[in-house]
Amino acid sequence: MEARTVDFSRTTITELMIPSFANFSGKVHGGILLGMMDKVAYVCAAKHSGAYCVTVSVDGVEFKEPVEVGELVSLSASVNYVGNSSMIIGIRVESLKPKTGQKKHTNSCYFTMVAKNEDGSLMQVPKLIFQNNEDIRRFWDAKNLKKMRNEITVMLNTEVKEMSFDAMLQSIEGDRFELGF
C-alpha cells in the first residue's frame, strides 16, 4: 500500500448558507454545520484510504462564532493522523461575508474515521508522508488526542463500575441539582 502525503487528500468544501439552514434569528443550526463537517471528513478520509469510511468519534466541536444566512462557509479538512485502519481528520471551518470580505474562524474539530473493506471489516490505510514541520505537529497533536480520548473512556467506565450511587451523590454535593425521587 502506497503512502500518501497530507496534500493528496486535503479537501475544501464551500457552501452558501440559505434560510432553510437557520433558526428564527438567521443563525445556522449547529446540526447543519456538523453534517457538513461529517461530509468533508468522509471525503478526505475516502481520498486518503481509497475506501468507504465511517465516523467513529468527533472531538473538540465548539462553536466560537455564529454563522449567518448569506455567508459562504468553507470547511477545510486534512488527514492529521493514521493508525492501522483509523484516521483523524482535522477540520477548520470559516465563514465569509461576500459583500464585505469579512472572514471569521467559526470552529475547528477532529473526526476519527475508519476505512472498511467491501465486506464491512476494517482495512489498513496508507501511511502518511510528512512534507513539513506542520504535518509532524498535527500528527503529534492528533496522536495525543487519541491517547487522551482513550484514557477518558477508561476512566469513565472504571469509575462508574466501581462507584456506588451514594458515593456519586456525595461527590456532586453542592452542584446545581435536586433529587426528584
List the domain boundaries for the chain.
Answer: 4-171
pTM over 0.75: yes
- Reported as a single tens digit per residue, the pLDDT across 84-108 is 999 999 999 999 999 999 999 999 9
Strand-pair partners of 74: 14, 94
How far is the C-alpha of 103 from the C-alpha of 100, rounded, in Å?
A: 9
Average pLDDT of the residues in 145-161: 88
Confidence band for 124, pLDDT divided at 50, 70 and 90: very high
Task: Give the span between the Cα atoms of 29 and 20, in whole angstroms.
Answer: 10
Looking at residue 114, its amino acid is V
Strand partners, 63: none
Amino acid letter for position 176: R
Which one-letter DSSP state was computed for residue 98?
T
Q: What is the mean pLDDT of the chain?
A: 96
CATH architecture of 4-171: Roll (3.10)
Residue 120's Cβ-count burial label (10 Å; 0-12, 13-18, 19+) is exposed
Mean pLDDT of 143-158: 92
In 3D space, the residue among 34, 115, 50, 44 whose CA is nearest the CA of residue 78 turns out to be: 44
Rounded Cα distance, 128 and 103, in Å: 31
